[in-house]
Amino acid sequence: MTTQCSSPIATRRPGWSVSGIIGAVLVVFWLFIALFGSWITPYDPAAMGTADVFETYSWQHWLGTDFIGRDMLSRILDGARYSIGLALAATVLACFAGTSLALLAVLSNHWVEEVLSRIVDALISMPSKMLALVMVSVFGSSVPLLITMAVIGYTPGAYRIARSLAMNISEMEYVQVARTRGENRVYIAAVEMLPNMITPLLTDFGLRFVFIVLLLSGMSFLGLGVQLPAADLGSLVRENIGALSQGAPAVIFPALSIGTLTIGVNLLIDSFSARRRGGF
């Protein structure tokens, strides 16, 4: 009599979807431009242009020229580091602050959680764009202020997401065992809780990055963002918008740059979330 040993069926992780691959390519591309774009510009992006104003595509100027004859490709390559760099710095700070405060609230006494939650509720009740406009009108526009206003505007949302995750995880057995062993709060937060929160927090990080990119681009479009002689992608749209009928490339290509960046991040987030639900 022979017995057949059946091997366990291996669960196969879902592969990357086409949209996820496209998103990853776009994100890597724009990260490369943010890091090295200013080094590979064919012309000086800040120098006065010598070409015709709003010149169309040519071998000399692949994306045409702007309202004073500057090369648009060079301006976009240089401006991307402000749009991506400022948004990335603000997102890292906002998510770090929100997650840290959430872990502190969950692992501290009830009154600490109440105080932090009430402060966050007050901040989250103010629209981020309204808060940004007020801060810029009071203190003036500068790079540190733009980062600060984005951090203040988006930390409450990061706090609420992280607090919800932390409250669920704090009831798990391994966290209760760590508390019984007498582990301190820093150990419990960093070793027991945070690693189990990291995947949804990364998804929230990507969404928050997109929100901040759009916020900073909108501020620059209103003339309240990055100031001259520097320029981000939103500034490039604003300074050429008056000649849309005769110099469309100078407006379309910076806008497409913002669009492809945000679309790429969204596609990557969607694919990442799908893999996590499928066993990633």
Domain presence at residue 109: yes
Please, which pLDDT band fits residue 108 given cuts at 50, 70 and 90? confident
In a domain, 77, yes or no: yes
Give me the mean pLDDT over the 121-146 stretch. 87
Residue 5 lies inside a defined structural domain of this protein: no
> Is residue 180's pLDDT more than 90?
no
Tell me the average pLDDT across 15-20. 79
pLDDT in tens, 92-105: 999 999 999 999 99
Residue-number span of the structural domain to which 215 is assigned: 29-45+61-275
Residue 6 lies inside a defined structural domain of this protein? no
What pLDDT is recorded for position 275? 64
Encode pLDDT of 43-83 as tens digits: 888 777 666 788 887 888 888 888 888 889 999 999 999 99
pTM: 0.87
Whether 3 maps to a domain, the answer reads no
Convert the pLDDT of each residue in 246-260 to its tens digit: 778 889 999 999 999
In a domain, 11, yes or no: no
- For residue 161, pLDDT over 50 is answered with yes
Residue 17 lies in a domain: no
Q: Where does the pLDDT of residue 20 fall: very low under 50, low under 70, confident under 90, or very high at 90 and above?
A: confident
Q: Is residue 173 part of a domain?
A: yes
**At residue 280, does pLDDT exceed 60?**
no
Using 50, 70 and 90 to split pLDDT, how confident is the model at 272?
confident
pLDDT at position 277 is 61
Number of structural domains (the chain) is 1
DSSP the chain: ---PPPPPPPPPPP---HHHHHHHHHHHHHHHHHHHGGGS-SS-TTSPP-S-TT----SS-TT-B-TTS-BHHHHHHHHHHHHHHHHHHHHHHHHHHHHHHHHHHHHS-HHHHHHHHHHHHHHHTS-HHHHHHHHHHHH---HHHHHHHHHHHHHHHHHHHHHHHHHHHHTSHHHHHHHHTT--HHHIIIIIIHHHHHHHHHHHHHHHHHHHHHHHHHHHHTT-SSPTT---HHHHHHHHGGGTTT-HHHHHHHHHHHHHHHHHHHHHHHHHHHHHHTT-
Question: Which pLDDT does position 3 carry in this prediction?
Answer: 44
CATH code of the domain in which 205 resides: 1.10.3720.10
244 against 93, higher pLDDT:
93
